[in-house]
Amino acid sequence: MEEKEISWRASEYEHFEKGGGWYLMVGGAALILLLIALWQKNFFFGIFILIAGILVIVLANRKPGVLDFKLTEKGCEIGRGIFYEYGQLDNFSLHNRPGRLDEMVIKKKTTFNPFVKIPIDSQTAEKARIFLVQKLPEVEYKDSFLDVLTNFLGF
């Protein structure tokens, strides 16, 4: 029996608890960059570093919201406001991540920010693969340097 729609709920991103050492590292890096900016008399860069450091710390504490995800005959819906028709998408990939939720990566037909990463449980991921392979080609997604760095830093 072919499914017409697959839906699930998940956090918008995976939250990692950060210890005191993490905050010291971020604060130290921001302080070093701020001192370099002041030494170079680049006050706009200094203001940028100050604002960026504060934002990184504030956003690191933010807990993720829970979103509804849906694959339909027409496209992929994320939450209540984002919808990608299959004509806007290039391909998809599913990552099995032991000890964590799996990840569905959908590549959009855009140059700027082409990848959409969606958390998904293993059972739903298999259903999604069977459903999506009829709509989009499946490819292997290799983690970029930025993906590896953000995972290492706990984002």
pLDDT given for residue 155 in this prediction: 67
Per-residue pLDDT of the chain (155 residues; tens, 9 = 90+): 566 889 999 887 777 788 888 889 889 999 999 999 999 999 999 999 999 999 988 888 888 888 999 999 999 999 888 999 999 999 999 988 877 888 899 999 988 888 888 899 888 988 999 899 999 999 888 887 887 787 777 66
**SS3 category, 8:** strand
For 106-134, the three-class secondary structure string (H helix, E strand, C coil) is EEECCCCCCEEEEEECHHHHHHHHHHHCC
Cα distance between residue 12 and residue 46, in whole Å: 32
* Residues contacting residue 5 through CB under 8 Å, at least 6 positions apart: 70, 71, 72, 73
Residues 19-24: contacts with CB under 8 Å, at least 24 apart: 22/60, 22/153, 22/154, 23/57
Quick check: pTM over 0.85? no
Q: Work out the end-to-end distance of the chain between its first and last CA atoms, rounded to an integer number of angstroms.
A: 39
pLDDT given for residue 3 in this prediction: 65
Q: Which residue bears the tokens 């993906």?
A: 147
Structure tokens at 91: 């391909």
Cα distance between residue 100 and residue 89, in whole Å: 26
